[in-house]
Structure 1
């Protein structure tokens, strides 16, 4: 079904909150999901996959143990939301020539919207790369992926399969990066009903349980017959 980007962002935010993400990170996750959908990528599906993968597990397990050197998570797999937010916060390092390297990232495409925010603050293009021979995961190889954004547009290099990989052994973020053949966003995106229901299941956790008083108030006149 076709949804506006506003609808996608709202549902994604509720789902992220229902999955236990802090308010700030849930908002960033929702904005990132919307951003990807605007460029024709299944951001809602990726978010649903990630929320299910890490459901009810401590966020600290999927967060960088240190922001020095190569970033690694205690659980052996990194959240692209947590590491993406940290990368954006550390964006000035890239202008000093540092490549931010993140190991064992789940659904690495979800990092790219955070690069968009970093690019807007830095005023230069930011590149996010992964893949290549032996880099994307078991049995995957190829020329790798390079996604570059200036915050408003996206340049894409790499096969769709590698872009959509569920796991990257290493993600590299760098700036400044040249924008070539940029794509501009759209205003609506297709989200299949199954994905919408998966996000809805997480969003439902944010709803307050009904009380007897709320049931009466929600049923019209309830016990008050004014006729």
Structure 2
């Protein structure tokens, strides 16, 4: 089904929050999901996969143990949301020639929107690489090198982020994206956790006659 990017962002934010992500990270996850969908990539599916993979597990297990040297997570797999946010915060290091290297990343494509934010702050293109894939963004457009199946891989042994990077054959985003019903339902299941359970008082204040007989 076709959804506006605003709809995708709103659903993704509720789902991320329902999965236990802190508000700030849930907002960033939603913006990143929207950003990828705008470039024709299944951001909602990637987010749903990640939320299911790490559901109800401590976020610290999938966070960088240290931001010096190669970044590694205690659980042996890294969240692209947590490491992506940290990479964006540390982006100025790349202007000094440092390559930020992150090991064992789940759903690595979800890091790329954070590179977009970093590019906007730095004013230069930022590249994210793994395997035979290289994606470069200036914050507004995206250049993709590599086969689509490699771009969409579920796990990358090593992800490298560097700047400045040259933009070649850039693609501009669109305003709507297709999300299949199954994916929307998966996100909806997480979003449902954010809804307060109904009480007798809330039912009486809701739609319908409540205890009053209007007939």
Shift of 1:222: 1.8
1:176 counterpart SS class? strand
Shift of 1:225: 4.7
Shift of 1:38: 0.1
2:29 counterpart SS class? helix
What is the distance in 2 between the residues matched to 1:189 and 1:221? 40
Shift of 1:160: 0.6
TM superposition score normalised by structure 2: 0.98
The answer for the alignment partner of 2:202 in structure 1 is 214
What is the distance in 1 between the residues matched to 2:185 and 2:154? 21
Shift of 1:219: 3.3
Q: Structure 1 unaligned runs (5+)?
A: 131-142
Shift of 1:31: 0.1
The answer for the alignment partner of 2:91 in structure 1 is 91
The answer for the alignment partner of 1:128 in structure 2 is 128
What is the distance in 2 between the residues matched to 1:122 and 1:66? 23
Q: Deviations over 1:142-174 (max 9, x none)?
A: x70000000000000000111000000000000
What is the distance in 1 between the residues matched to 2:62 and 2:211? 51
Shift of 1:226: 6.4
Q: Deviations over 1:64-105 (max 9, x none)?
A: 000000000000000000000000000000001000000000
Q: Deviations over 1:24-57 (max 9, x none)?
A: 0000000000000000000000000000000000
Shift of 1:7: 0.1
RMSD between aligned residues: 1.0
The answer for the alignment partner of 1:140 in structure 2 is none
Are 1:173 and 2:177 matched, yes or no? no
2:86 counterpart SS class? helix
Shift of 1:61: 0.3
Shift of 1:220: 2.6
Are 1:145 and 2:143 matched, yes or no? no
Shift of 1:14: 0.1
TM superposition score normalised by structure 1: 0.93
Shift of 1:116: 0.1
Shift of 1:216: 1.4
What is the distance in 1 between the residues matched to 2:40 and 2:23? 26
Q: Deviations over 1:85-131 (max 9, x none)?
A: 0000000000010000000000000000000000000000000000x
Q: How does 1:183-198 map onto structure 2 within 5 Å?
A: 183-198=171-186
